Structure 1
Amino acid sequence: MRTIALLCLVVLVGCNKTKNDPNHSAVEPINRQSVEEDSATVALFDRWEKVWRDGEYDLIASCVADKYIRHDIKGERVVTREEYEQEIKQTREALPDIKFIVYDNSFSKNEAWLRYTMTYTSPETNEMVTRKGIQVYRIVHGKLAETWMTMLEP
């Protein structure tokens, strides 16, 4: 259960978009016309992806505010940057094969959101698990300050 709770802390950004085509299935990425993206926020999520994908923990200070408000499976809570770094490390250690596909996203100066699927091998059953989620972020002074996350059960 701890593994599933830690999974709900996960976020990665990758721009995997395809042309909006009626022949595409509902699970394939779609191309959305959105508001103009903020280049600083795009750069923030590029760094954030490196934290999650590559374990570049030294980038966390440039991505996360000193206090980070989270609305996730654990409820509403405030974690320090250092506490969140430990949660990320624990998740990556518990699920070394975790992968993400981001289908939709939007990045503005003060907020961002993304819709994604993640896959990983369950440490308990050794079976592949697929989860889908949406995450919304509030950005303050160029750093992640608050997030709301919803995940569908596997």
Structure 2
Amino acid sequence: LDIYFPQICPAMVPLVVYIHGGAWRTGDKADFSYIAEGLIGVAGHRLAVAVINYTLSTRLVGSIRHPGHLNEVIKAVKFLVTDQDYPGRSIVDSRRVFLVGHSAGAHMSALMALAPQPAFQYLGNIRGVVGVGGIYNIPKLLKSNPDYSDFIDMAF
């Protein structure tokens, strides 16, 4: 995971965790540094942004499938919101964490927020979720877009 901090930080700041999309099969945290930098700028340098990776699905036998991606995202978010030590941690207010996900990332953000499990005990720190272009109803998606079955089958 990559964490971006404001250049000037007079006080503790909330944390936005960005979970990229890519149909569970494409994308890398490095591709989204501009989003982190843009969010920090728009917020007047009053927040930090973490951009996380998760293992992508492939056509190879034994490739990661759901819920493997979700479990990796949960692990990364848990690391960020519990009192773990990482560079810059001293300015992050882990009681003010927001999830932002795009497409498959929005799907995983929603699963974390709406279907809490015992592994999500720390979710009290999550103050909000923004899903952009989320995939929330896979059966309906496949019914209206049968050509999407390729990436759904690969990930699930």
TM range (shorter): under 0.3
Question: Which of the two has greater helix per residue?
Answer: 2
Question: Which of the two has greater strand per residue?
Answer: 1
Structure number with greater CO (CA < 8 Å, separation at least 6) is 2
TM-score w.r.t. structure 2 length?
A: 0.23
TM-score w.r.t. structure 1 length?
A: 0.23
Q: Which is higher, the Rg of structure 1 or of structure 2?
A: 2
